Structures are given as C-alpha cells and as structure tokens.
A = this chain, B = another copy of it.
Amino acid sequence: MVRMPAPVSSLLWRSLRVYQVYGANTDVGKTIIATILCKAARGLWPSQRTTYLKPVSTGPDEVADDRHVRRFAPEIAAKTLFQYDLAVSPHIAARSSNKSIPPDDALLAEISSYAAQQAHHGPGWLFVETAGGVHSPSPSGSTQADLYMPLRLPVILIGDSKLGGISQTISAFESLKIRGYDVETVLLFREATYNNHSYLAHYFAQRHEIPVRTVPEPPPKPLEDDDAVSDAARLSRYYDDCSQSREVQDTLSHLSARHDARVSRLGSMSAAASEKIWYPFTQQKDLTPEKIVVIDSARGDFFHTLQSKATTTSTSTTTPTNLDDPDALLQPFFDGSASWWTQGLGHGNPHLTLAAAYAAGRYGHVMFAEAIHEPALALAETLLAGLDNPRLSRVFFSDNGSTGVEVAVKMALRAARLRYGWESGTGPGRDGDGDGDEEVLGVLGLQGSYHGDTIGAMDCSEPSVYNEKVEWYEGKGFWFEYPTVECSQGAWRIKMPDGMREFGGDGTSTPGAAYPHLSAIFDVERREAAGEGRLYGRFIRTTLERLAAQGRKFGALIIEPVVLGAGGMLLVDPLFQRTLVSTVRQSAHLFGRTTPSTTINPVPVAEHNQTWTGLPVIFDEVFTGLYRFGRFSAASFLGVHPDISVHAKLLTGGLVPLSVTAASDSIFRAFASDDKSDALLHGHSYTAHPVGCQVALASLREMQRMEARGDWDWARAAHERTDSHRDPSATNHATECLAWSVWSPEFLSWVGALPTRFVGGVWALGSVLAIRLTSVDGSTGYKGSAARAVHAALLRGRVHSYGPSDQSQSRWNVHSRVLGNTLYLMTGQRTTEETVKGVESLLREVLEKACNGP
C-alpha cells in the first residue's frame, strides 16, 4: 500500500474556537495582545481550556513568545512547534540553524494535529500566533499568508499603532482578504499622537463591518536592568487590567459569537439550499438536504466541506472516520471532477486572484463593441499563437462554452449558406411544400456529442436524454457512429461500431484489434500511411453520399476532438476524426454547388490554402483543449486544423466564465458587407470582460511556462518508460505522439486487467481518467447506475493509521461525478504526483472491494 500524503483541511470545531493572530507588521504587539486575549478568555470561561500556539518562533529561547505567555499567563498552555535561535525572519533563521526545515505541508499537519488534540478537551480557545507581518516568510520560504491559507483560520489582526501604521494595517488586511481569510476583528494599541485606531475604527466599520478595538500600550521598559522585577510587576498589572477591560471582553464575546454563527450557518446551509436553490442537472425530488455538500472553502485540489452524515457513515472501513478529531466539522475532499472540468491552476490560486483583482481595479468591466483593452488583445494574441493553427486569425469573445458554440455555428452556417447560395432564414417548413425537412440546414457531428445547454448548442446534438424533453430542442443534423478506444483485457483496443465493419475487407490495412500502448493509436500519421484510415474514409464518404441523395443540407462539421466529454467520456479513435475532417473537406460536391455569390468576397490566392472547403470545420475544444490532455490544443492530436475553434472551462484556469471562438479569415469574410445587418449579430454585455481576459491570460501563460519547464515530465517519463512500441530511431516523432497521462501506466494496466464483468474498459489521457464499469442491471447512458457504488465509496473514503502518532493518520475522500456507467476522475494541471498516487491508492482499494463483492 502506498503511503498517501494527508491532505489538511480548514480547521473548525464546534466547541474549540481557534483563531489566528496576524500582525500588520512586526513589533506591533502580537504576543502582548495574544497574552491579553488568552488571559481574558480564561477569565471569562474559567472552566474551558485556553491554549496558545506559536508554530514558528525565531530568536533565543529565553525571550520566546510562548515563554512570555507562560510567564504572564501561567494558567495558559503555551507551545512552540518550531524554534530557531537567530532573531531574523524564519526563512533565514531556519537555514542558519542545524534543525530541519519543515515543508509547508508538514507544518500545517503539525498545527492541525495540535489543534485536534486541544479539541479533545472540549470547549475552549486556541490562539495561533504568526511571526512578523502577514507576508513574513515561513521556514520554507513561502509567505505566511500563503502558507496558512488551507487552514483558513479566522483572523485577529493586530493593527499597527505607530506612524505609518494605518497603511500597514489596511494593506495587511487586504493581503489576507484576497486569500479568502475572514478577518474578524482588528486590535491595536491605543496611542494618542497618531491616533491610528480612530481612523481604522471608522475605516473598517464603514468598509468592512469589522470592529476595531484597542488596548492600552504596555508600560514602558525600565531604563535600568535592576528594575526588571518591578518591570515584571508592572507588566503583570497591565495584563490583569487589560484582560478585564471592557474592550477586550467585548472582543472575545464578539469572536465567540462569530464562531457560533459560523458553525450554525454551516449547519443550516444545506437545508436552506434545498429550499432556495434550483440545481443544475439535478432531479431535486431526490435531493434531500443531507446529500448537499456544504463547501466552506477550497484550496489547490481539495474542497473543504462540512462533515455530513452521508459522508461519515463509512462502510468501507470499520474505523470511525473522525477518531482523532471528535467533532472536526470540516474535511478535505479531493475535487475529482476538477469542479465540473474547470480547474486548471487549483482552487484559491493567489496568482489568478491577483490577476482578477488587477483587472477589476484597472477597468472593472468596459464595453467591448468597437473598443479594445489590453487583457482582451493580449489574450487574443496569446491564444492564437498557442493554438498554432495557421487558419485561425481572429477571436470572438462570449461567456461560456455553450454561447461560444452558438457563435461558432452562426459563423459556420452563414459561411456555408453564402458559399452554396442558399437563401437566408432557411428553417423547417419554410419552403412551404410541407415535407418538413429539405430546407433544414443542419450540422454533421458525432453521436452522443454534447456542446452546451442553450437551445442553439443543444440543436447541434442528436436527440438524447439531455434534450429529448426540452420543448424547443430540435436536433438539426446528422451524427456519425465512430470507433472508440479503451484499455481492456490487457491491451489497448479500438472498438468499431457494427455498421462500420462492412467497409473493410478489400485487403487494405484496417485498424488493429489490439495495440500495446495508447501512443501507438495516437500515431495517426503512421497509421494513415499504413492505410488504416481507408475503412473510415469509405464509411464516411458513403454516408455523405447517402445524405446528399436524400437532399439533406449541412452547414458545418462540429466535433469534440479526441474525447466526447458529457456524452459519456468516450475516447474516439483520433484517426477516425482526422479522416472525417479530411473527407468532409474533400466532399464539397456533396454539400452544394458553389455560387457566384462567393466571388463577392474573393479569396486572395496566397491565403487559399487556409480557405475552408467542403464545410466549415468546428472543433469544440471547450472540454478537450488548453492542456486538459497535456497539450495547448486538442486538435494537435489529430494533426488537422479546424476553421473554427471554441475554448472555455480551463481558459480561465478555473475562476470565472469566459469563452473564445476563434475563426479563420475565410469564415470572417463571409460577414463583410455594406449592410450592417449582415454582421455577426451576437454579443453579451460582459463580452471580453477584463477580469476574465486577464485571468485567462495569466492562466494560459502559466500553463505554457509549466509545459516549457517540464512540470509534467514525471508523468510523461512514466509513460515513455512503458511505451515500448516506440522506434528508438524516431524519438522526436514518438515524443510528439506520446499519449501520456498523470495516471500511472501501472494503475491503468491494473484496472484494464480487472474482470470484464466488472470493468468494461479504461483510458487515461493528460489529466483525465475514465473507467467504464459494466452494468449489472442493463442500465446505460445517463441513467446508468454501475458507477454509482464506486462513486459512493470514493465519497466515503477512508482513514488509515500508519503509526502510533497522530500525524501518520491520513484521511482520503474523493468527490467525483459519474456519467452513466462511466466513473471519471480529473486532476487540475498543478496536481502533484503524490496526490495522484493518493487517489489511485484509494481507487484501487475501492475497486478491489467492489470487484470482490461485499
């Protein structure tokens, strides 16, 4: 069994009130005020345990903060986790010491564990004091505000009462706020010259509804050493007075009330949600409140969710799930659907937050018609360069994948209509002869495709459970069957639909029954050269000829390259899609007769090779593109260039909605006219909103940097090692068609070898893993139920003890989504090897159990 890292969660207990003490600067009195708070808490709640924790301390032990607390508040338990002697920033002190430097994860785990121990004692307080200012570096070098984010402890911010302290306090607050911390109160010394507290009290009340309270300044240090005793006495009296002061007691009451309110709110949210929210894609009749996941916050790959009966009732282990934290309220959950396929750079990524906030500050939103702003232009340039498609020259912005597809279809249909001279407004029944179909301008696509939920995007898909009951849905087009790829019974196989087989058998090479590795299947050029695409070509051509003979009219080919996402997480043979595109492009004669109207916007000769032929080809890369599969563009797997390409989801790295439809000049020119109503009359108010564009820009650039740096080399290398099909003399080419994944080859082989009565097949590419479970009750598609049991077991997760100490316990739960009988898991683009291994390990255990039956 692999030793899995223990994800930490936001810390929250019902009765232990944990607060983090941050300082607006160093030397603002954090320890003094923390001591006062400790004493006051103990005074107000004498029967409760009050604890002081200093995770990292620098400077000689004899002046350490925990010692100060113990000295003046002996009734308080005080502890330091990591102590370095040098009185400098921890990142320097740690390196200068002989002690080991704790990695961030380990430091957080220590704090969690310590807090959990305190929670055992029942109601109480725990004050966790940071070192220096909010962004002072931790031993590892990351700044504290970043380091402690996952714990998301509510904050007591100690303001700065000195000259300049107003600025320091507000900036420190903002650095915490933009990281999702809740600053619950500001405390600072009452000082008469600069009077910072009165400005800050007004400022925080007006702007943030946060109370600012004060304590008197501590008595001045004596000038002579021998006054040390009376100094201590003065300080003792000071502490006694302060801890009994009205302002301090009000502060603690406020903190206690806020804590209770938070716990209470979390507890009531699922019930309130079940009454006030209409959920997407959910039969709410069955959605009882306890099934609603309450997400307190999220960080990196993990949700921090409220413990619920549904998830704590574990059947996969007899160990109570929360043995060591009797009433820990929050738990980490691996976000196994990458939050509906959106997460690239992880939850709560400060880099994306700052990008969003920068654009919000610089522009807010600005109208985009006939205007330009830097984030939109830079994003257009970055995207067009990244797609590396000589056809695409221009981008249209909209709000999500569905609207992006509608834009793409409007573009394509217009271009096709003008090229082939069809009249405008062709719609069902409009030709008046009543046979109802010959004037319907449709699309060509693949069966089971999904392009979005708005009516125009729905109409691009064949009738299915997603749309068959939607009143205005009317599928317009024809959808091909296609071969799919998965690993089963120890090999990678192409599964051909029955109707396609008859097109083989003329002696040419046909797709093989089994391939040693997925990369062999993705080596489309070699396979094409070997004649494996001819069967596909014949199948496609024959079908198109039949459709032409029926008088069907088409205005676009639209496909999701490589993988059909919502349609069931199906990996399509890339050679089939490649052949489909090239066949459509060579079949202009089957779609219509080019009319003189196309000469209105003549194509310059030099650009001719970029002009669309046959039909405009739309690639819906909303799910498949932008590094989902490890590459900027999914089209690159097929080695073909679409005329129109739609991007969303990962575009913004997982923060806000934004979509881009990129198009070729040849498509664009179809809308040029002296009549302004010939323009593409589509646009949303927030078109190209700067926040989205700036975030997308930051996200794409970061993913490009990751690729250039080789951040995914660990995953590539694992697949390269096992990819023995490669011709050693053709390394470059083999690297190009390498179909790698963060999911390990060993794991894939293991799943692929599970009994077919349980697992039908598996595939993984880039960040995605899909396991097709075998239906036991015959249910299929959206209504399939085979994956639900595995899904539920992942949700319950498990707790493992690896040793006697608390830290060696690790809890793993995975929040996944299923599509029919297919269970899929999806990482972000920054998910680490260690985390993937953790998920694989849990998955192995769950699948093994499920395979072996109860």
Contacts and interface: CB of A to CB of B under 8 A. Distances in A.
Which of A164, A357, A685 is most buried by chain B, counting CB atoms within 10 A of its CB?
A685
B277 A394 contact: yes
Given A434-B436, A783-B676, A424 B468 contact: yes
B168 A25 contact: yes
Contacts of A542: none
A161 to B, nearest CB: 12
Interface stretch (A210-218, A285-293, A629-637): A285-293
B672 A285 contact: yes
Nearest to A339: B367
Interface string A659-688: 001010000100111111111111111110
B199 A91 contact: yes
B555 A134 contact: no
Interface string A440-469: 010000000000111111010000011111
B193 A88 contact: yes
A299 to B, nearest CB: 8
B471 A413 contact: yes
Given A377-B277, A455-B406, A676-B283, A350 B341 contact: no
Contact of A370 (B269, B291, B381): B291
Contacts of A347: 363-366
Interface in A474-500: 474, 476
B166 A27 contact: no
Given A363-B298, A468-B677, A369 B817 contact: yes
B456 A455 contact: yes
Contact of A474 (B428, B468, B673): B428
Which of A291, A341, A380 is most buried by chain B, counting CB atoms within 10 A of its CB?
A380
Interface in A425-445: 425-429, 434-437, 441
Interface string A235-266: 00000000000000000000000000000010
Given A171-B133, A275-B394, A469-B425, A340 B369 contact: yes
A194 interface: yes
Interface stretch (A396-404, A711-719, A757-765): A396-404
A429 B428 contact: yes
Interface string A49-81: 000000000000000000000000000000000
Given A278-B663, A352-B364, A356-B357, 14 more contacts: A25-B164, A133-B167, A178-B354, A276-B395, A281-B680, A285-B673, A292-B370, A297-B362, A414-B471, A424-B471, A425-B468, A427-B471, A456-B472, A469-B681
16 contacts: A134-B167, A277-B394, A279-B368, A281-B680, A283-B672, A283-B678, A340-B687, A342-B365, A357-B360, A364-B654, A369-B817, A403-B454, A406-B453, A429-B429, A454-B456, A655-B689
